Structure 1
Amino acid sequence: MSSGFNTRAIHAGQDFDPTTGAVTPPIYQTSTFVQDGIGGLRGGYEYGRSGNPTRDSLQTLLASLEGGAHGISFSSGLAAEDALLRSILRPGDHVVLGNDVYGGTYRLITRILGSWGIEVDAVEMNDLDAVRAALRPGSSRVLWVETPSNPLMKITDIAALAEVGRASGALVVVDNTFASPALQRPLELGADVVVHSTTKYLGGHSDVLGGAVITNDDQLAEQVRFLQFAAGAILAPFEAWLTTRGIKTLGVRMERHSANAQAVAEHFVGHPGVERVYYPGLPTHPGHELAARQMKGFGGMLSVALRGGEEAARKLAESTKLFQLAESLGGVESLIGYPSEMTHASVRGTPLEIAPNIVRLSVGIEDVDDLIADLEEALPR
């Protein structure tokens, strides 16, 4: 029997404990497993790095939510990206990515994999001709898509890029962290792989680090699992359990995040201190119609460009009270960040550099009137 998203978020991979009947499966907080004789593994479990029931239940859940056959979890989003890229790429290969992707992704490819002989080009992903021109048939192995993008909230046509990537022989990878599978499922739109920082909306409570790779490609999944085991950037049992607990409320949380962000965005359009609001839920956003077709909601992330430049942006970031100044996003509490020197500091001086008058908001699930009042009090006029 097929089930809806919220039902799967609560039940996929979450069978009750057969020994005690506990509704919530236990945390298997163990480093190793007793064998029934040499090679006699119980349930296939041998050592905590190679497998753990708590981690396996999360991986089943992740695959179900994204509509994939395989879910592989890691100790962080970047660990997941690293394992995926090293599974695909070899020296001399080429990656094409968007010109405002997460700074950590760009740093990983250019500064770590770059020394291994990997080349990269950053292009405007909404310009399909530019993407086609950047792809090098035979050597472009990865087309990396981030939508909505971080922090400018660009919306990219996943289905169109899936066709472009397929035509050139590149695997299309979509970072679905900002939308979450509650709002967007890239595999259903033709992408080959989905990656997540599960730290963000999937965990949802700012209390756990994690990452994930989801795909329908059996061979690629086997290669990623090998690196998960051989390189060892696994997600620990307690972190897997916390992430699973967070996912159970993902659907209802994303509804509230989206509603609050929409209200905040609409309120500050035309504000005397605000030059521009970047939020795909606004009809004036260039990707609004595409987002309405491709997503089931517009999400909880938005950015604002301030008329007062860098000074005004810094003042706002350091003056709010409910919006706490911190890295990360996607938790139930609202956060504010200054991308130029926080999440995107690693891309200053590159084509991906973020303007110094940009402030990024992760809109939480508090009462929206309180959030708007907090921003109003801090915004320079």
Structure 2
Amino acid sequence: MKTPKIGQMLHLRGNSLNKGEPVALPLTQSSMFHLPGSPEGHDTYGRVNNPTWEHLESLLAHLEDAPCLTFPSGMAAITAALFATLAAGSRVLIPADGYYVTRLLSDRFLSKFGIIVEKRPTIAFTKGGFDGFDVVFVESPSNPGLDIINLASVAQQVRNAGGLTIADNTTMTPLGQRPLDLGVDVVVSSDTKAVGGHSDLLMGHVACRNAQIMEQIEEWRRVSGSIPGPQEAWLLHRGLETLDVRFNRMCETAQVLAERLSEHQAIRQIRYPGLPNDPSHALAGAQTLRFGFLLSITLGSEEQAERFINTCPLLRPATSFGGVHSSAERRARWGDDVDPAFIRISVGCEPVEELWQAIEASLNSS
């Protein structure tokens, strides 16, 4: 897998500037453009294009090493990828233990259009093969369980069966995992999470090296109006410039915390791919560039879990993940099929020793 050239990404705009132009990306907040005569080759209308999100897409395309389109949320990106590749009578396979809103979209909407939706847990995803599926949607690591599947193997099996693979790479970002390099056809991501990194925007993107698929996804965006706002695109561009620094800090801290948590008496179970005894460790080591910033712990009871989350001063009790502030939540409250005392922790950018002291103190008093 290729390692993204972060330095080149940071200077993509700068190396094309003319003398006197601003180094920082301007925010183009306009729905209309001055358009006398033929509109060919020019910005036309805010639902079709915008210079701010087009430049953002060039940075994301550099990271993904593939054309990219941005969307107003991660679910908007997932929706676009699915609606552009499925039709009445199509069969789609999704993870039974993946992000629950993807399941809601499939069950409540895709099924209404005559699309056949089937589900499998991540750890048994390959059982039964992939014959007859038009689209196979994968999450690796799964959210929130952190189970991992062999993306290269699944992508090849699906291709041999005549289908397409779509991978949700939100938990790892392009810096931690490269699904397209492993043979996956389409990547989707919620950039609300680590790519944006500051918990102040909703955004998502789709990346794909198949021009025909990207044309369909672009048409879906243009016709449906599922476009990013220029302000959000500007914020995401700014967040993207520090992703490498933040992601490195978050992953390194997560490794330290996981090793220490694995020895704490209050922990009934821990999952983190970076731990040598984790079921996903070997595959994660071969398939990913980093082990990520998400980990999960299971405490003795729901009450103990709530006390831990709500009393730790360096953990925000909030949903979502990937921000500079470490956060934690009981995923059972959203209906995930997990133990009531299961906690997903998103490790942020706090100094590791200060963060550990706060976590340890809260565990000891819970």
Aligned to 2:28: 28
Give CA deviations for 1:179-198 in whole Å, capped at 9, x if unaligned. Answer: 11111111001000000001
Q: How is 1:242-253 mapped onto 2 (pairs within 5 angstroms)?
A: 242-253=235-246
| Cα distance in structure 1, aligned partners of 2:279 and 2:14 | 40
C-alpha change, 1:16 and 1:326, in structure 2 (3 Å) is farther
- DSSP 3-state at the match of 2:328: strand
Counterpart contact for 1:96–1:121, Cα < 8 Å: yes
Opposite residue 96 of structure 2, the aligned amino acid is N
Is it true that 1:40 corresponds to 2:33 in the alignment?
Answer: no
1:357 aligns with 2:355: no
Query: Whole-Å Cα distance in 2 between the matches of residues 160 and 255 of structure 1?
Result: 28
Output the amino acid matched with 2:304: A
Structure 2 contact 135–164 (Cα < 8 Å) conserved: yes
Alignment of 1:143-182 (within 5 A): 143-182=136-175
Which residue of structure 1 aligns with residue 284 of structure 2? 291
Superposition RMSD in Å: 1.9
Confirm whether residue 315 of structure 1 aligns to residue 315 of structure 2. no
For residue 31 of structure 1, what is the amino acid of its counterpart?
S
CA distance, structure 1, for counterparts of residue 171 and residue 9 of structure 2:
18
2:62 to 59, 64, 78: 64
Q: Deviation at 1:357?
A: 1.6
Q: TM-score, structure 2 length as denominator? A: 0.94
CA distance in 1, matches of 2:259, 2:54: 42
Paired residues, what number? 364
Partner amino acid, structure 2, of 1:21: E
Give distance in 2, aligned partners of 1:73 and 1:128.
Answer: 29
Query: Can you list the C-alpha shifts for 1:264-283, whole angstroms capped at 9, x where unaligned?
Result: 11111132111111100000
> Does the residue aligned with 1:120 lie in a helix, a strand or coil?
strand
Read off the aligned partner of 1:357 and give its amino acid letter: A
Pair 1:329-2:290 in alignment: no
Structure 2 contact 3–175 (Cα < 8 Å) conserved: no
Cα drift, residue 321 of structure 1: 1.4
Amino acid at match of 2:35: Q
Unaligned runs of 5+ in 1: none
CA distance in 2, matches of 1:296, 1:170: 27
Report SS of the residue matched to 1:280. coil
Q: Write out aligned runs for 1:1-381 (5 A).
A: 4-12=4-12, 17-18=17-18, 20-37=20-37, 39-41=38-40, 43-68=41-66, 70-127=67-124, 129-132=126-129, 135-137=130-132, 140-306=133-299, 308-341=300-333, 345=334, 348=335, 353-379=337-363
Distance in 2 (CA, whole Å) between partners of 1:217 and 1:65 is 17
For residue 318 of structure 1, give the secondary structure of its aligned residue in structure 2: helix
Structure 1 runs of 4+ aligned residues shifted over 4 Å read 13-17
TM-score by length of 1: 0.91
The residue type equivalent to 2:190 in the other structure is S
